[in-house]
């Protein structure tokens, strides 16, 4: 890595805090070496990493527990104590975005580094390479693949630019968010990129939506922000409505904007509410499906896996409130929860409803509820799913070679095209699994593992297995 340094790093006395952006890759860690190993603000999980944990501990870091509600206040308190201490502490280095982005803009800075109200030195990072092999975000290649791609390059470059010290005025000292925003504007101008109002929490929300394969995941971020402005995130309006027996009556034929405002208990004149309604008013005819809104809101707040997601969709789109979904209801439920086309839903529905009852239930889906362990579902189901993916996506037939060949072929196709993992990894993994557990499901487990590595969720696999 060829590192070019522009500008001059000031001393701790001149600026106790180094503010670094944009944060886009694990290779940003090289700045700790360039800046003389300052104390970094880092999540606790990184300190437990067996490869870089020792190096992080050497810098006397301030650890952040993202799941601990008190961690934020404790981190701010520790930063204030260090920058104002007479002891010989190193400078504090922080990535104020709080997460990795693709360097196309600067997202909202967290105000933690700006609470002390002391001068900071902005530091810009650039990667002026012809081929981008370093960007590591929530949606894209994993760290190992990016590292391998970077190592295959003849040369990779990184530019680190130290900007002049930014000294806050009185208003900025009293308002850390104003201070953070002004520093962000300065750095964005130096980088030649725009700013964005997206935050770290927005990125977490979008990641969660993507993991559950929710349609229109970016829209849910905007929905969450609008609900926050309206104060709905502090209430249980949507949760209570999802349990009311009158839900089907409320949602029948769609609801108007006035009804939407009345149901949520919000003044119709609220601009944020108008924007929220427009997101779901897809035909621009003053009508929306309130169940779609509830599904997105409740999926983020209380759903933890795909099985719960499907169950929630079945509950919300059950017109009769009996746990029995007709074909129109099932079509809407699966469309909004998995993006399945009406044709696929119809095919699945007819294969499940073999007794011609005219409805299906959640239990008929036979969806596992114990995560990704294939032992909690039928072997034939998972095998058929992989076979389906194989034959429909790669053209490899299912009649030649039998079940095992189809399973390996499906896994090989997905792994090779999506993550570069070949069939030899599948076979080796299956051998290891057989030796460790002595179970017949070894190859199925290998396929499940490989599918998860290549970005295809096991819940999707099991869902499509219903076609078998």
- DSSP result, 227-240: HHHTTGGGS-HHHH
Query: Which secondary structure element, helix H or strand E, spans residue 336, and what is its range?
Result: helix 327-338
Closest CA to 221 of 107, 102, 103, 71: 107
In this predicted structure, what is the pLDDT of residue 432? 40
Sequence ranges of the domains in the chain: 2-197, 203-370+377-383
Q: Rounded mean pLDDT of 194-200?
A: 84
In this predicted structure, what is the pLDDT of residue 396? 39
Number of Cβ within a 10 Å radius of residue 347: 14
In this predicted structure, what is the pLDDT of residue 16? 95
Beta-ladder partners of 325: 360
DSSP string, 99-166: S---SSSB-PPPGGGGTT---EEEEEEE---SS------SSS--HHHHHHHHHTSS--EEEEEEPPPB
Indicate whether 456 pLDDT > 50: no
Are the C-beta atoms of residues 284 and 317 closer than 8 Å to each other?
A: no
> Is it true that the peptide bond before 22 is cis, omega within 30 degrees of 0?
yes
Q: Rounded mean pLDDT of 177-205?
A: 89
**pLDDT tens across 158-171, in order?**
999 999 999 999 99
Query: Which secondary structure element, helix H or strand E, spans residue 18, and what is its range?
Result: strand 17-21
**pLDDT tens across 53-73, in order?**
778 888 889 888 876 768 888
Indicate whether 368 pLDDT > 80: no
Report residue 303's pLDDT band, with 50, 70 and 90 as the boundaries.
low
C-alpha 385 chain-centroid distance: 25
In this predicted structure, what is the pLDDT of residue 340? 79
Indicate whether 419 pLDDT > 60: no
Q: Computed from CA positions of residues 61, 64, 65, 71, in that sequence, does the dihedral angle turn out positive or negative?
A: positive
């Amino acid at each position: 890595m060829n590192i070019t340094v522009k500008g001059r790093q000031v001393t701790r006395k001149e600026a106790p805090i180094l503010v670094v952006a944009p944060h886009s890759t694990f290779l940003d860690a090289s700045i700790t070496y360039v800046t003389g190993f300052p104390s970094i603000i880092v999540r606790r999980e990184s300190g437990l990493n067996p490869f870089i944990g020792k190096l992080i501990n050497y810098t006397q870091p301030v650890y952040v527990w993202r799941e601990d509600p008190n961690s934020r206040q404790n981190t701010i308190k520790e930063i204030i104590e260090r920058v104002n201490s007479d002891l010989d502490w190193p400078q504090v280095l922080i990535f104020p975005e709080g997460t990795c982005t693709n360097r196309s803009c600067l997202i909202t800075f967290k105000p933690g580094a700006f609470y002390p109200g002391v001068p900071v030195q902005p530091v810009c990072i650039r990667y002026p390479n012809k081929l981008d092999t370093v960007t590591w975000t929530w949606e894209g290649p994993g760290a190992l693949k990016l590292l391998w791609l970077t190592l295959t390059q003849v040369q990779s470059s990184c530019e680190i630019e130290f900007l002049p010290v930014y000294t806050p005025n009185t208003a900025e000292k009293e308002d850390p968010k104003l201070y953070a925003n002004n520093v962000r504007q300065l750095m964005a101008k130096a980088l030649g990129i725009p700013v964005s109002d997206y935050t770290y929490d927005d990125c977490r929300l979008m990641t969660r939506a993507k993991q559950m394969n929710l349609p229109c995941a970016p829209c849910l971020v905007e929905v969450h922000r609008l609900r926050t402005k309206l104060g709905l995130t502090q209430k249980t309006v949507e949760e209570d409505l999802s349990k009311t027996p009158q839900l089907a009556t409320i949602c029948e034929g769609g609801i108007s904007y006035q009804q939407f405002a009345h149901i949520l208990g919000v003044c119709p004149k609220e601009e944020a509410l108008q924007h929220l309604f427009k997101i779901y008013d897809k035909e621009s005819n003053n009508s929306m499906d309130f169940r779609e809104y509830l599904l997105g809101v409740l999926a983020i707040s209380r759903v933890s896996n795909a099985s719960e997601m499907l169950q929630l969709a079945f509950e919300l789109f059950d017109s009769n409130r009996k746990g029995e979904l007709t074909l129109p209801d099932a079509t809407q439920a699966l469309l909004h929860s998995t993006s399945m086309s009406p044709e696929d839903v119809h095919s699945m529905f007819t294969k499940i409803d073999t007794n011609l009852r005219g409805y299906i239930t959640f239990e008929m889906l036979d969806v596992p509820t114990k995560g990704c362990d294939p032992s909690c579902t039928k072997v034939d189901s998972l095998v058929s799913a992989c076979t389906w993916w194989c034959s429909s996506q790669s053209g490899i037939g299912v009649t030649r070679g039998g079940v095992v060949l189809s399973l390996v072929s499906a896994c090989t196709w997905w792994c090779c095209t999506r993550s570069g993992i070949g069939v030899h990894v599948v076979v080796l993994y299956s051998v290891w699994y057989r030796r460790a557990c002595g179970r017949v499901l070894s190859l199925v487990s290998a396929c499940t593992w490989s599918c998860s590595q290549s970005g295809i969720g096991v819940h999707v696999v099991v869902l499509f297995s219903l076609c078998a």
